[in-house]
A and B are shown apart, each in its own frame.
Chain A
Amino acid sequence: MATDSQLATWEVFIQSKPGANYIHAGSVHASDKQMALQNARDTYTRRGEGTSIWAVPTKEIAASNPDENDMFFDPANDKMYRMPTFYVMPEGAKAI
């Protein structure tokens, strides 16, 4: 099938339970918001994976450029003092 008949792509984020983070599940083709939600529902939540869906047009996502990874991410590598590993965890604290 020709690519021009497949509609634009949308990125799908699924929340597995109320309060949880939305996690990227994949992408779907759709002509508009409503259809993007339907297709996301049919493609990614058929087995009870989610309680909520976000669909975002792929072209609206600002993505970092892999060529700039040095500048973006390397400076964080040798700065252990930014890690919260020097604290003693209070007993009973979860999900920190």
Chain B
Amino acid sequence: MTEQQALFNYCLRLGDDALVQSYRLSEWCSNAPILEEDLALTNFALDMIGRAQALLSYAGAIEGKGRTDDDLAYKRGERQFYNHLITELPNGDFAFTIARLLFTSSYEFGFYTALQQSADATLAAIAAKTIKEIKYHLSHASEWAIRLGNGTEESHSRLQRAVNSLWMYTGELFETDELDVLLHSANIGIDNAQLHMGWKHQVESVLNEATIEIPKDEYMQTGSRKGIHTEYLGHILSEMQYLQRAYPEATW
């Protein structure tokens, strides 16, 4: 694998994480428990669309075959998507969405903080812009987790259930494959394994305050680094890509 290929794939991984999370959050539009939350979650979705756009445009530029951010979002199949599995799971209830946002934004906080030092100037600039948004996503998710955990018996048990069922999707966030090693040695990418302790500390401090029990690290799901996904990504893409598939090159 050349460095160029690696960087292209790296940008797809990061861009797809943002794109798919954005899709899931946008599904809360008109469905959130209160109006304020409806605005907050869809606002986060817009933050992530911006991040996805920047990363997929850059991926297209690195590849050098004239593919735009839209081409990469709308004309790739499921096996060419590299978002983490945790991002594509259905929203579930509000507690599930909050627990997922807590896990992903805690991870992204560590990741993009480090990426600001990347030797790749574009990635460093994207990281510097997006880290402010991620800080807010993390704070929002943390505050809600603490309130749900200390709220009613119902809200507590829903959050506990969400944390339990999401836990096996968190291991994948810290996987390191040859692509990560290659880019990390070029000072472009991040050593994911090194982020694990910080993530654990962050998540545990919130869950402790929320009086939520932290699951044991047992079986962890994997696959997305190779483009192997849960059944849910296909459903997302069939809806997201419908227009481009049915009416290729449609514009308005």
Contacts and interface: CB of A to CB of B under 8 A. Distances in A.
Given A42-B43, A46-B43, A29 B143 contact: no
Interface stretch (B34-42, B162-170, B202-210): B34-42
Interface of A: 1, 5-7, 28-31, 34-35, 38-39, 42-43, 46
B36 A42 contact: yes
Nearest to B144: A35
A31 B140 CA distance: 14
B147 A30 contact: no
A38 B140 contact: yes
Interface string B136-162: 000110010001000000000000000
A-B residue pairs, 7 tightest by C-beta: A39-B36, A42-B40, A42-B39, A28-B36, A43-B39, A29-B34, A43-B36
Nearest to A31: B147
B33 interface: yes
Contacts of A28: 36
Given A29-B35, A43-B35, 18 more contacts: A5-B33, A7-B34, A29-B36, A30-B36, A31-B147, A35-B143, A35-B147, A38-B40, A38-B140, A39-B36, A39-B37, A39-B40, A42-B36, A42-B39, A42-B140, A43-B36, A43-B39, A46-B39
B143 A38 contact: yes
A28 to B, nearest CB: 5
Nearest to B151: A31
Contacts of B143: 34-35, 38
Interface string B20-43: 000000000000011111011001
A51 to B, nearest CB: 15
A31 B34 CA distance: 12
Contacts of A31: 147
A91 B50 CA distance: 48
Nearest to A34: B143
